[in-house]
Every structure is written in C-alpha cells, then in structure tokens.
Structure 1
Amino acid sequence: MTARWILLRGLTRESRHWAAFAPMLEARCGAVLPIDLPGNGTLAHWRSPVDVDAYVDAVRAEAQRHGARPPHRVLAMSLGGMVASAWARRFPGEVERLVLVNTSMRPYSRFYERLRPAAWPALARAAWHWRDGDGNVAEAMIHERTCARRDTLAADLDAWCAIRASAPVRRANALRQLLAAARYTVRGVPRCPVLVLSSREDRLVDPACSARLARAWGATHREHPWAGHDLPHDDPQWLVDVVCAVFQEAATDTRANSS
C-alpha cells in the first residue's frame, strides 16, 4: 500500500484513540496508516524501549510490514512527535512532511514545561489506579488532563476503558515510555517541511514548547484557541483543515516560484 499519512500517538495511547480524526484525514488527504508504538495497542505485548531511536526502528518495521512505501507524511503527537522527529533526522529520504501536535523535546523545553506540575497529582492518581479492573479512574484522570471537551466524557470513557480492557498497557511500559520521552534530545533540524501545532489550553504540556520548537526550526506554527492536549479528540475538523490548508499553500507557493 501507499500510505500518504502515517499517524503516531503518544504515551500509552494507541491507534484507536485517533477515533474520528483518522477517517476524516483520509477522506481529505489520502490513505492513512496509524501505527502503534511498542507497548501500546497491537504491540501491547512488546516491552517499551527507553530510547526514542528504538521506537523509530519499530515504527519503520511496522510500516514496511504493512507494505507502506516511503516517502511518508507523518503526523504525530506527544511522544509520537519525538519518534517522528528522530525518524526524519535519521532517515531524511523516508519522511517528506512532518506534522507535530503538542509535542516537546529538549533542548527547546524545560522539564516543568514538558509535563506541567499541575498535572502531576492527576497522573500520580492514574498510575496508582493503573491496574484497576475497569480502568475507569485512570482513564478519567487522563481525560481530565488531556481533553478540553467534556460533552463527550461518558462516551469517551466507555470507549477508552474498552480499549484498555482489550489491549492493556502494562504500568512498567507506561513508565518506560515516560522515561524515553524525558531522555530524548533532538539533534539538528529535519530537512522536510514541518508544521507544528499546539493547543492554547493544553493542561499537560505547556504550549510554549511547540512555539519555541517552531521558532528554532523555522517551521510553520498554528495554535488552536481552546483545545486541550488531545487536539485530535477535541477538534478533529480543525486539525484536518489546518494540515490540508498549510501544505496546499506550500505546494502552491512552490509551483508559483518555479514558474
């Protein structure tokens, strides 16, 4: 298959957490292939690495296994954004476009910006209840910190708890993913066009992380006015519209400059 877009989620999240966003992007921008990070979703039985480069190797292998041929367009958020950035740096010929959603990475972000101190109690409570049978408390804590929309809360928790029950992420893997994110330092700037997106009301990661990254890389930056960390959940239509519009504008400018 030729996947125009590969999608990578973040800490303890998997392909099904894209929900409505994935088919919406596919309808507008072509084939989409969501890939799970090791330890999550279809790869829940794997041991999560503590090094981002190991995630890159696993994602590349999964893309090849699905028959996806480079170059790819990669849209990723949070930890997935770090993996996508490392992929674009290590294998520049394989990534033609990069969209980073609410991600953060050293040296452009401070530790208290990458994981806001106000979020620590909720995350600690989620970790304490991680092994609960129904997963409701842990998922409720994650929702409270990552989503600005509350009108879908009941349906979200039902769906997320069902996902957890069918492919549980081991607490040790969750901690290993957190360690990988904390340790990662990006070196250099990807050669491909980069679009950085952030949410003004992100209560997990300070949106200043995205703004600073975009300035350092000379990348295009757009900020959603009210969404939380899980921007694909809160406003998938806005995300699809911005991604399509920005890259269509860039393509138009390229054609105009070459004529």
Structure 2
Amino acid sequence: MVLSSEKPPVVLIRGLLRESRHWLHFPALLSEKLQRPVFTLDLPGCGALYKEKSAASVPALRHQLQQQWAERYPQYQGKAVHLVAISMGGMLALDWARAAPEQVNSVVLINSSSAGINPFWQRLRPSNYLKVVLCLLAGPLQREELIWQMTVNSPLQPDVLKQWQQWAIENPVSRINALRQLWAASRFRVQQQPVCPVFVVSGLADQLVSPLCSEALANQLNAALLTHADAGHDLPLEAGPWLATVIDQNLNEAYQQYSCA
C-alpha cells in the first residue's frame, strides 16, 4: 500500500528497554486502519541506536527523538505528527507536545504514568521490584523472559519471545543506558495539558503499571480514557486490532475538529 505523504504521519514511540521491532505488526495494522503513514523511532541506547548514549531525563530524551525524526524524515518537517506512545514513550510524547505544540497534532498514551499524580508503587508495582533488578543483572535470554512476565498478560508465545531474545542479542541495551532511562522515567511529571487532543488507553490487566496511573493521567489531562479488560502492559502485542480500531474511532473526530486530518 502506498500512502500519500500529504497526510500527517503517525509516529510510534516505545518505552524502557524496547526498540522499534517490539511493535511487531502493529505499525502496518495502524497504517491500514488510519490510511496514513506510520513510522517508528528508537531511543538512543536501544534498537539500531544501541551503541549510543541514552539521555537521563525525559526532555533530553525527547530532544534526541526530535533530532532523529528531523534527520531521518526531512520530507515531513514543517508538518505536525500524531504521536502514539506506550509506557515511558507516553512521557516523551507529552513532553514533545509541551515543548513543540506546533509539531504535534494529537497524543495517544498507552499504559503510561507520571510522578506527582500517582505514588511510586503504582507506577511500578511492588511485585516487579525484584524482577527489575534481575533484568539489570541478567543476560539477554533471561531478561526477555522476565520482561514478558511483567508486560504480557496472555499466554506465552514462544516464537515472539524467541524474537525478543534474538533482538536483545543483536542490539543489547547496556546496563548504564537502562539505568539512565529508568531514572528519567521515575522523575517525569506532567507539567501542563497539551493544546492538542489527548487520549489515554489502558490495559486493565497490566501487571507492571497500575491502571490507576492511566486513570489519573486522563483526569489530569481532561482526556478520554479507553480501557481493555484483559490486556496487560504491552497492549499492542495483546490487543493490536482492538487498539488500532479505538485509535481510529476516537481520533478521526478529533482530526476533523482540529483541522489536522
């Protein structure tokens, strides 16, 4: 399918220790549903950029993403984008919308959170504290098994886990970059409500981050809250078609209202 570059694109942003490939088939699914280009970016220290140094604050990480977007896709400069972001990626999306409102048409937050409106034990559930420490110490095979346990609520998919493990071997996230990203996420606070439409999506079976965090974000940002009863933290993996559908249904009206279709 060839999509016109005249339509503002969607940019997908993943979270801690994840790279673009962890979206799996969701970018193609969302592009088909929205009939617009969908792109992914890697955080420095992850994916294709695993050898680079990750910034240690959300604004600095966001600036790195903006630079990457400008360098990789110059044909879209001067056009605002739609941001769809999960977990720490949601923090980066909110900061992007705050720092450069002219660059962002809308924001979709998936299982994200903010300090100041939820306590730390909701932003990272206590049952995961030991697993997080083990992730920092473990090799790539065990680390990906632990991440699956924390982020996916549905039964194990061995082929997908094997993919995760292979990517972790190919593009390993260093311990220092993991710590820098954890530090950045732990300190993030919502500073102001974006001027663009914001939608919050939550998996109610999220074992990593309490769904109360999404509820609080929606209240803080005066945003619509959309929930999936059975999905966990990696909602695009567990409920990709549902997620693409609700994004399409809820954003089409906003695109027209804000003249940014």
- Normalised by the shorter chain, which TM-score bucket? over 0.9
Please list the CA deviations of residues 91-129 of structure 1 after superposition, one character each: whole Å capped at 9, or x if unmatched: 001001100000001222211111000111222222221
CA distance in 2, matches of 1:53, 1:36: 16
1:136/1:157 contact within 8 Å kept: no
The answer to whether residue 26 in structure 2 is matched with residue 24 in structure 1 is: no
- Select 1:103's aligned residue among 104, 109, 112: 112
| 1:144 aligned partner | 149
- Select 2:47's aligned residue among 19, 41, 49: 41
How far has the Cα of 1:77 moved from its partner?
Answer: 0.8
Which ranges of structure 2 fall in alignment gaps of 5 or more residues?
Answer: none
TM-score, normalisation: structure 1: 0.92
Please list the CA deviations of residues 4-40 of structure 1 after superposition, one character each: whole Å capped at 9, or x if unmatched: 1001000010000000111101111110110011111
RMSD: 1.4
1:105/1:184 contact within 8 Å kept: yes
Instruction: Give the alignment of 1:50-61 within 5 angstroms.
Output: 50-61=56-67
Instruction: Give the alignment of 1:66-85 within 5 angstroms.
Output: 66-67=72-73, 68-69=76-77, 70-85=79-94
SS at structure 2 position matched to 1:105: coil
Give the AA of the match of 1:108: I
Please list the CA deviations of residues 123-162 of structure 1 after superposition, one character each: whole Å capped at 9, or x if unmatched: 2222221xx2xx221100000110012152x112210011
Please list the CA deviations of residues 155-197 of structure 1 after superposition, one character each: whole Å capped at 9, or x if unmatched: 1221001111111110111111000001112211111000100
Q: Displaced runs of 4+ in structure 1, greater than 3 A?
A: 249-252
CA distance in 2, matches of 1:151, 1:115: 22
1:232/1:239 contact within 8 Å kept: yes
CA distance in 2, matches of 1:188, 1:249: 23
1:97/1:194 contact within 8 Å kept: yes
Instruction: Give the alignment of 1:233-248 within 5 angstroms.
Output: 233-248=237-252
- Select 1:12's aligned residue among 5, 12, 17: 17
CA distance in 2, matches of 1:66, 1:50: 23
CA distance in 1, matches of 2:110, 2:196: 16
Instruction: Give the alignment of 1:1-259 within 5 angstroms.
Output: 4-29=9-34, 30-67=36-73, 68-69=76-77, 70-129=79-138, 132=139, 135-152=140-157, 154-251=158-255, 254=257
Give the AA of the match of 2:22: H
How far has the Cα of 1:83 moved from its partner?
Answer: 0.6
1:197/1:222 contact within 8 Å kept: yes
CA distance in 1, matches of 2:20, 2:54: 16
SS at structure 2 position matched to 1:109: coil
CA distance in 2, matches of 1:202, 1:185: 21
How far has the Cα of 1:249 moved from its partner?
Answer: 3.5
How far has the Cα of 1:251 moved from its partner?
Answer: 4.8
Give the AA of the match of 2:204: R
TM-score, normalisation: structure 2: 0.92
